[in-house]
Structure 1
Amino acid sequence: MAHADQAAAPPVSSPPAGGRGALFGFACGAGAALIWGVQAVVSRQSAADGLGPVDVTILRFLTAALVLMPFALRRLKPFPVGRLGWRRSLALTLLGGAPFATVLVGGSTFAPALHTAVIGPGLIPVFTAILSYAWLKERTPPARILGLALIVAGIGLFSWRAVLEIGQGEAWRGDLLFVTAAAMWSVFAILAKRWGADAFDLTITLSILSLTLLPVLALLAPVKIAAVGIAPLALQALYQGLLVGVGSVFLYATANQVLGAARATLFLPIVPAITAIASALLIGEWPSLTEVLGMVVVMTGMTVAIRA
């Protein structure tokens, strides 16, 4: 998720850095946010290029698995699940691996790119707080509740136009898929944290185990890869598989270690703004006034919730 991959790295305790170290940490955090912000635009472009959600998922995980395989052979014993074990690894793969990516990209075929960056990432902390209370009995501080309420209000404002156009347009279908993706990722994040999953090892495991699910996904939807030119295929493989699947996780984890978890998470609310700019400049999708206002409210709510 755009997206929701931003939750892939569990917090790592580390004291905030100063001087050049802090600048390096901020650069890594900004780089991760930039990759996530543009990811929604790249996913949206896949539909224009004739690729389906399963095609993009196949390209993403084949590329990521190829790049990460040497690390898997060296780091994970038993291969490819490591200390998480098969049961937990399979559960996390079903929630945060290829099925999640297919649902997320599927939403991009119906809704504008900005919807990917606002609805999914916005609802993840909301669903996580609800599930944490219902499942783990974790109480949410009042300040964070305020932030979560702002997120819900902002998403309501942001999606109002799509709701009104049910029966006429298809954006609402994409929005429902983004809600589904946010719910999947929230459960994934809670389980990953509860099981103490290492961010990099988990990224490797998800990428490799997702390969076993690709044939199943290919049976559920037509594969169009053979009918598309090499340039669109390379774009999705390199961006989704290399930059998102590997690069963004490394950059965010580095920012997390250098700056500390609290500072690193402050990069997350700027992702929708990056998507808004990129989608307007690169694919000509300009948000409406209500979408801009809703996005600002969601970003404010995310910031309040994170700082709380």
Structure 2
Amino acid sequence: MSSENAGLLSRMPGLAYVGLVLTPLFWAGNAVVARGTVDDIPPLSMSFWRWVIALVILLPFGLPGVWRHRQIIRQRLGSMLALATFSVGAFNSLLYFAATSTTATNIALINATIPIFVALMSWILLGDRTRPLQALGIALAVLGILTVVAQGDIAVLTGLRAQPGDLIMVAAVFSWGLFSVLLRRQAVPLPALTFLTTQILLGALVILPFYLTDLVYFSGGFKLSGDTLLPLLYFAIFPGILAYGFWNHGVHAIGPSKAAIFMYLTPVFASVLAGIFLKESLGLFHVVGGLLILAGLVLATRAGRQAAAYRESG
């Protein structure tokens, strides 16, 4: 991003805040629309065509950068393929599989713990120091996840009767945590649009053999109609391209620490949208689990920011 554009963004904080409110709204809509259409569009079809449509939209803008930086892409192809596998490939595909057997509210609540899983993976794989407050936050968030998964009944966990979708969503968030750690360890020096275009292209190629196997041997695909095309366009444009752009804009304009707070709106929006469009109701376990997750996120992210500030000052 040029210094001129950066200066323009910094003078338009109001636009950044609007974008940061819309971003979790689009992410929440991703869970709600997936839950509402998963009976019509198989999960792997949903994931594959979402990214194909997004790629078609992005190519006119991103392809020149891909060509210009082709030498770097070729040199770092292994790293970029791993990153695309865990993010574009695994995360979204698992999220759509989760939608077949759990609620949009549960998906959004578990999805909100991404910062916790990133901190946990950073501690395990990168050896990042975990401060006591951060460890407490991680513990509270994990307890919140268990509350949601168990639906407030410990027998669900001890009897291994948890909804498969909740466990699949935990795997999805785990996958995004791995992606985030790899992104930090295997940083690729590419402009944002070039990186995104390359990631979507590689991710779609990763999904392709699984999609074709599912198409031929299992689901048989889906019938293209207005009822199926509109959700796919939503997935590609709103939680895909626009949310990514709004998020980058917001992080640049007001900083990553302030921008991260807006992630907490995702389960709030999801519960409202799911109640309106899917007639999902909130249980006490949603409230208790959500509060535990929120408290854990606040503690963990605050401790993480303090640790980062300490390292920078040292």
Q: Which range, TM-score by smaller chain?
A: 0.7 to 0.9
Which structure 2 residues correspond to residues 130-141 of structure 1 after superposition, within 5 A? Answer: 130-141=120-131
Which position in structure 2 is the counterpart of 1:273? Answer: 268
CA contact (8 A) 1:272 1:299 kept: no
Alignment partner, residue 307 of structure 2: none
> 1: distance between equivalents of 2:35 and 2:265?
19
Deviation track 1:16-50 (CA, whole Å, cap 9, x = no partner) reads x88x72222211110111111121101101223x2
CA contact under 8 A between 1:60 and 1:240: conserved in structure 2? yes
Matched, 1:305 2:304: no
Whole-Å Cα distance in 2 between the matches of residues 107 and 163 of structure 1? 21
2:309 maps to none
Structure-2 residue corresponding to 1:75: 65
Q: Does 1:46 align with 2:8?
A: no
Once residues 37 and 83 of structure 1 are traced to their aligned partners in structure 2, the CA distance between those partners, rounded to angstroms, is: 35
**Deviation at 1:296?**
2.0
Change (3 A) 1:201 1:182: same
Structure 1 residue corresponding to 2:54, chosen from 60, 64, 70: 64
Which runs of structure 2 are paired with 1:1-308 in the superposition (5 Å)?
Answer: 21-48=12-39, 50-76=40-66, 77-79=68-70, 82=73, 85-122=76-113, 124-161=114-151, 164=155, 172-197=163-188, 199-222=192-215, 227-308=222-303
The answer to whether the 8 A contact 2:140-2:292 is kept is yes
Larger Rg: 2
Q: Write the distance in 2 (CA, Å) between the matches of 1:170 and 1:253.
A: 40
> Take 2:246 and 2:285, find their aligned partners in 1: how far apart are those partners?
33
Deviation at 1:171, TM superposition (A): 5.9
2-side partners of 1:279 and 1:204: how far apart? Answer: 31
Could you tell me how far 1:177 is from its partner in structure 2? 0.7
Identity of aligned residues (%): 24
1:86-138 deviation per Cα after TM superposition (whole angstroms, max 9, x unaligned): 1111111111122332111101111001111111331x333322322232211
Counterparts in 2 of 1:278 and 1:171: CA distance versus 1, 3 Å: farther
Distance 2:286 2:83 in 1: 33
Q: Which amino acid aligns with 1:142?
A: P
2:166 maps to a residue whose letter is D
1:305 Cα deviation (Å)? 1.9
Query: What secondary structure is seen at the aligned counterpart in 2 of 1:285?
Result: coil
Q: Which amino acid aligns with 2:84?
A: T
Between stretches 168-177 and 261-270, larger displacement belongs to 168-177
SS at match of 2:239: helix
Shift of 1:62: 1.0
Provide the aligned C-alpha RMSD in A.
Answer: 2.8
Question: Counterpart in 2 of 1:3?
Answer: none
In the aligned structure 2, how far is the partner of 1:195 from the partner of 1:83? 14
* Matched AA of 2:104: A
**CA drift at 1:229:** 4.8
Query: Which residue number corresponds to residue 312 of structure 2?
Result: none
SS in 2 for 1:267: helix
Q: TM-score, normalised by structure 2?
A: 0.83
Does the 8 Å contact 2:42/2:221 carry over to 1? no
